[in-house]
Structure 1
Amino acid sequence: MSDSPVDSLPGIGPVTQGWLREVGIRTAGELRSIGAVEAYRRLKFMLPRQVSLNALYALEAALRGCHWLDLPQDVKTALQQQARTIDEALRRGAAARCAIP
C-alpha cells in the first residue's frame, strides 16, 4: 500500500490527488508518513480558499479507510482544533507579510 498512488485510498479523487501531488505527496505511504494534519496544512497554505475542513476530514478518513462522515466525533473535534490553529497561522502569516513598518 505504501507505494500505491494516493488516490488508491478511499475518498481521494482526482482533484485532491492533483493538489496532493503539487505539495509533494504522491503515494499512500507518503500521506501516511506525514499524516492528515500536515497534508492539510500544506494544502491550506497553497490553496487557502479552496481547501476546507472537509478536506482535512477526508484525508484523515482516507488514512483510516472510512468515509469522512464515519469519523468519530472526538476525532472530528480534534481535527477542528488543528484546522483552527492552521487557519490562525495562515492569517498571521498574511498579516505579517502585509504589515506597514
Structure 2
Amino acid sequence: MTDDDDTAPVTVIRNIGPAQAQVLANAGIHTAGHLRDLGADQAYRAILRTGARPHFIMYYVLHMALQGRPWNDCKGAEKDALRAQFDTLKADEAGSVVDSAFERMLDDIGVGQRR
C-alpha cells in the first residue's frame, strides 16, 4: 500500500504509528483517506470527543503528518500559531460537553469522563 491510497490504514501516513493509529481508531478514523478528508482539526475534535486527554504534541503531529513533514519540523511562529489553534479547539470542545449533575457527581468521586 502507498501513502496516497485512501483505503490504506492511517499508519501509511508519515508520523502515524501504532499508538496514534489506535487513538484515531477509537475516534472512528481507520483509513488514510478518512483522516485526510477530515483534516487535522476535525480529526483531533473526534479524538477529544472519545474522552481522550488533550495533548498538544499529538495535535501538531497530525498537522505535520498530513503535510508529509517530520513531526519535529514544527517550530517557531508556526508552532505558536498551532498552539493558539489547539487552545481554541480544546476550549470549544470542553464547552460542548454536556455537564449534568450526574456527570459532576461522577467527576467528584473520580470516575467521570476524562477531559
| TM-score between both structures, scaled by the size of structure 2 | 0.71
| TM-score between both structures, scaled by the size of structure 1 | 0.80
**Runs of 4+ residues over 3 Å off in structure 1:** 72-75
Comparing both structures, which one devotes a greater share of its residues to helix? 1
Q: Kindly indicate whether residue 55 of structure 2 is the aligned counterpart of residue 47 of structure 1.
A: no
C-alpha separation between the residues in 1 aligned to 2:77 and 2:8? 29
Range 74-83 or range 17-26, more displaced:
74-83
C-alpha separation between the residues in 1 aligned to 2:45 and 2:10? 17
Counterpart of 1:58 (choices 38, 61, 68) is: 61
Range 28-37 or range 81-90, more displaced:
81-90
Work out the number of aligned pairs and report it.
98
Match of 2:21 in 1: 17
| CA RMSD after TM alignment | 2.1
**Identity over aligned residues, as a percent?**
33
Match of 1:7 in 2: 11
Counterpart of 1:89 (choices 87, 92, 98) is: 92
How far 1:75 sits from its partner (Å)? 3.3
Where in structure 1 are there 5+ consecutive unaligned residues? none
Where in structure 2 are there 5+ consecutive unaligned residues? 105-115
The one-letter code sitting in structure 1 at the alignment partner of 2:44 is Y
Check the 8 A contact 1:6/1:26 in 2, yes or no. yes
C-alpha separation between the residues in 1 aligned to 2:78 and 2:29? 23
C-alpha separation between the residues in 1 aligned to 2:34 and 2:96? 26
Check the 8 A contact 2:64/2:74 in 1, yes or no. yes
Q: Kindly indicate whether residue 68 of structure 2 is the aligned counterpart of residue 76 of structure 1.
A: no
